[in-house]
Amino acid sequence: MLNQLVEILKSSGVYGWEISDVKTNGWEFYFIRHELDQHRVKNVEHITVKVYQTADNGESLGFASAEIAPTASRQEMEKLVSDLAYRSTLAKNRAFTLTPPTDEQFSEGKASDIADISADFIRTMAELPETDSEDVNSYEIFVSDVIHRLITSTGIDETEHYPSSMIEVVVNARRDGHEIELYRNYTSGTCDAAGLMRDLTRTMAYGRDRLLTQPTPVNGTCDVLFSGRDACAIYDYFATRMSASMIYRKISDYEIGKPICDRFEGDKVTVTALRELANSSANHAFDEEGSVIRDTVLIEDGVPKQYIGSRMFCCYLGIEDSFIPTNLAVTGGTGSQEELRSGRYLEVVEFSDFQVDEITGDIFGEIRLAYLHDGDKTVPVSGGSISGSMNDFIRTMRMSSDSTQYDDMRIPSLTLLHDVTVTGAEG
């Protein structure tokens, strides 16, 4: 089928094209408590076609894409290519060159043992320490072996093999006739047993403490500590502002060689794009456009070093050797856990939704569970919200020197933002 599709694209007269073929072989498990309710085998294939077409005597280049069934007939393939060729002329972008092939030799990799990976998940969940008042309500496990092949009009024809896993867990906590549910979703390459055990044990404790909370009393400013995966949004903000699309459209004001802050009083962040991160679900040799992924420092000690992103916007900035990053590592923290966990601060561990606006830098989150620390006294609280701007926090933010990984991101285990606006539950 792919050979026939390539033949049709070559004879279509379009400027360029890409075919992405993703085959997924997987197992799925659905548990109620720890009893298996359903078990399914999944074998699916998704083929996406992207067509590029020039206009205005080559001054503009548009593109359009769509998915096509692996069982499509020749007539269906020809119609799709014709439709995409027309649609691509409607989007007139400034012309750019398509990703060329590379001399680098890739290892396709080998098939993942989805039976062993599934067994690791099931074993980890069975060993989870539960109590009479905090336990697992249900969980669903999805383990896949993925084969991705990319073929392009420029001569790229690469294939990679990698594992991808996800587990969804619902935790219950009960006290004095009241009950609460906490939902968790974890993605990874294979089973991160230690990380899963650590996080779910904490989640059950959070469920217990959620039933003991007082209304958040703070109204005004307070230091806020992030000790979970919500901090990923903070560091993703830095990486996003180094993307070529943000720079070209003048949404980001980050400049190569110019510090992101006029005066640092806290820690200076370093952000690195990585080709591989242990047990990440995003360990790829090449990106979705066929560009080779390399270890690249984006920001070093608070100073932008390299813009990165899609082929189109990188070409506009005169960057020929770039890629779309998949894994990120953040360093730069100088504080110990003890140092950052001192004094009076609000540690928020559960938000209803935490966001960092990639354009303005504004942060906002509604508090579901937090701990108000004041010396030796710790009180669980809920309600209210936090807000502020990363543009202000960059100057004084602190990070722990140790790190924690959340799938495709490795970040400081603790992130402390100073003078965050906190609106109490009754404020």
CA within 13 Å, CB half, 70? 9
Q: Supply the pLDDT for residue 102.
A: 86
Q: Are residues 194 and 218 in the same domain?
A: no
Structure tokens at 373: 């620390």
- Amino acid identity of residue 367, one-letter, is I
Q: Supply the pLDDT for residue 328.
A: 98
Query: What are the tens digits of pLDDT across the range 281-296?
Result: 999 999 999 999 999 9
Task: Look up the domain containing 74 and give its range.
Answer: 2-208
Confidence band for 1, pLDDT divided at 50, 70 and 90 = confident
Query: What are the tens digits of pLDDT across the range 183-196?
Result: 999 999 999 999 99
Q: Which helix (H) or strand (E) holds 45?
A: strand 35-55
User: Under DSSP, is residue 85 helix (H, G, I), strand (E, B) or coil?
Assistant: helix
Structure tokens at 421: 């606006």
Structure tokens at 63: 């593109």
Q: Are residues 184 and 280 in the same domain?
A: no
- The 10 Å Cβ neighbour count of residue 208 is 17
Q: Are residues 225 and 173 in the same domain?
A: no
d(CA 312, CA 319): 10
Beta-ladder partners of 364: 355, 387
Q: Are residues 155 and 176 in the same domain?
A: yes
Q: Are residues 13 and 156 in the same domain?
A: yes
Structure tokens at 102: 């590379």
Convert 301-347 into a string of H (helix), E (strand) and C (coil).
CCEECCCECCHHHHHHCCCCCCCCCCEEEEECCCECHHHHCCCEEEE
Q: Supply the pLDDT for residue 196.
A: 96
Domain end call among 208, 234, 261: 208
Residue 374 has pLDDT above 80, yes or no: yes
Overall average pLDDT of the 135-149 stretch = 97
Q: What phi, psi does 76 have (nearest 5°)? A: -65, -40
Q: Do 165 and 189 meet the contact criterion of CB atoms below 8 Å apart?
A: yes
Overall average pLDDT of the 110-138 stretch = 95
Tokens 């119609």 sit on residue? 79
Structure tokens at 246: 């943000």
Domain end call among 172, 189, 208: 208
Domain end call among 162, 193, 208: 208
Residue 132 has pLDDT above 60, yes or no: yes
Query: What are the tens digits of pLDDT across the range 402-423?
Result: 999 999 999 999 999 999 999 9
Q: Do 266 and 334 meet the contact criterion of CB atoms below 8 Å apart?
A: no
Q: Which helix (H) or strand (E) holds 389?
A: strand 385-389
Q: Supply the pLDDT for residue 111.
A: 84
Q: Do 200 and 139 meet the contact criterion of CB atoms below 8 Å apart?
A: no
Q: Do 154 and 99 meet the contact criterion of CB atoms below 8 Å apart?
A: yes
Using DSSP bridges, classify how beta strands 93-94 and 60-68 pair: parallel, antiparallel or unpaired.
antiparallel
d(CA 139, CA 37): 10
Q: Are residues 254 and 185 in the same domain?
A: no
Number of domains comprising the chain: 2
Residues sharing a CB contact under 8 Å with residue 359, sequence separation 6 or more, in sequence order: 251
Q: Supply the pLDDT for residue 64.
A: 97
CATH code at position 51: 3.30.2290.10
Q: Are residues 203 and 220 in the same domain?
A: no
Q: Are residues 200 and 259 in the same domain?
A: no
Q: What value does the mean pLDDT of the chain take?
A: 95
Q: Supply the pLDDT for residue 68.
A: 97
Residue 427 has pLDDT above 60, yes or no: no
Residue 10 has pLDDT above 90, yes or no: yes
Using DSSP bridges, classify how beta strands 220-226 and 415-423 pair: parallel, antiparallel or unpaired.
antiparallel
Q: Are residues 317 and 274 in the same domain?
A: yes
User: Under DSSP, is residue 214 helix (H, G, I), strand (E, B) or coil?
Assistant: strand
Q: Are residues 203 and 318 in the same domain?
A: no
d(CA 104, CA 323): 15
Query: Which DSSP category does 217 fall into?
Result: -
Residue 161 has pLDDT above 70, yes or no: yes
Using DSSP bridges, classify how beta strands 157-175 and 134-152 pair: parallel, antiparallel or unpaired.
antiparallel
Q: Are residues 155 and 129 in the same domain?
A: yes
Q: Are residues 364 and 418 in the same domain?
A: yes
